[in-house]
Amino acid sequence: MRPVDLQVIGSDLAIKWEGGHESYIPLTLLRSACPCASCKGEMDIFGNLYKGEVKPLKQGAVTLASFGAVGGYGIQPVWADGHSSGIFTHDYLLRLAANPTTSPSK
């Protein structure tokens, strides 16, 4: 399923999907679920996870400045604190919307 419209409404990312279904993802969840290597770490070929130290979020960390499409499969948010390396696939957004109380693994 692909989004046909995305808008920030209050403190949520509102997504209208093909077929008319709508989802609302809290921006705090979206930021905490960022799948980039800097936020979630990255694995080597042996399955070892490498992750830097957890840094406190800066002011503007949960303010969505903009977002852009990545091919036909995802979006890339740009946060007001400058973070922009996370790519959220459409499937990952659906999983976040389906369970907004926890951050599903990528």
Q: Which two tokens stand for residue 19?
A: 């077929």
What pTM did the predictor assign?
A: 0.86
| Percentage above 90 pLDDT, the chain | 76
The more confidently predicted of residues 106 and 23 is 23
Is the pLDDT confidence value at 101 over 80?
A: no
Q: What does the pLDDT read at residue 102?
A: 61
**Mean of the pLDDT values across residues 3-31?**
95
Find the mean pLDDT for residues 27-53: 91
- Domain holding 26, by residue range, is 3-98
Sign, CA torsion 24/25/28/29: positive
Residue 103 lies in a domain: no
List the CATH number of the domain containing 40. Answer: 3.30.2020.30
Handedness of CA 17, 15, 69, 39 (dihedral sign): negative
Evaluate whether residue 38 is within a structural domain.
yes
H or E stretch at 6: strand 3-9
Has residue 105 got a pLDDT over 60?
no
Cβ–Cβ < 8 Å for 62, 72: no
What is the residue type of 106? K
Q: Give dist(CA 19, CA 5) in Å, integer.
A: 12
Whether 105 is in a domain gets the answer no
Residue 89 lies in a domain: yes
